[in-house]
Amino acid sequence: MKEIKAFIRPICLDKVLTAMHEHPEFPGVTVLKVRGMGRVVGRDSEDAVGFGAIEMVKLECIVRDDQCQEVLGVIQEHAHTGRPGDGKITVQTLDTVVRIRTGESGVNAI
């Protein structure tokens, strides 16, 4: 099982969620509004300190190993604008997942 976290532009959220919802086996996604600051290209870090954090959207989802590349592709395709600041996607391997309501674990808990 994999946990996918994506930081994307808020203007891309509807496109990404629509594409994910259309995926026949997509298990679900958590959406969080976040603020952050990345490295500013062309400026040294002292100049960047005065800039405020920008708004981004963080998506989190848990998928089976065989779904990971497809879900990554959906997010990347629909969050891409080609401009700096499009965001990042991270993937982590999960040891276990437990559904609180039923006690199911592993892939059955997704």
Q: Which residue has the tokens 């500013």?
A: 40
- Of 9-18, 36-45, 50-59, 96-105, give the lowest mean pLDDT range: 36-45
Return the domain boundaries, the chain.
Answer: 2-109
- Identify the residue with better confidence: 110 or 17: 17
CA distance 81 to 76: 10
| Residue % of the chain over a pLDDT of 90 | 67
Domain boundaries 2-109, corresponding CATH code? 3.30.70.120
The pLDDT of residue 45 is: 47
Residues whose CB falls within 8 Å of the CB of residue 82, separated by 6 or more in sequence, listed in order: none
Q: Which residue has the tokens 């300190």?
A: 49
The pLDDT of residue 30 is: 96
Other residues' Cβ atoms within 10 Å of the Cβ of residue 62: 19
Other residues' Cβ atoms within 10 Å of the Cβ of residue 51: 10
Q: What pLDDT digit, counting tens, does each position of 38-88 carry?
A: 765 544 444 444 566 889 999 999 999 999 999 999 999 999 999 888 999
Q: What is the DSSP letter of 82?
A: S
- Identify the residue with better confidence: 18 or 45: 18
The pLDDT of residue 76 is: 97
Dihedral (CA of 70, 73, 56, 19) sign:
negative
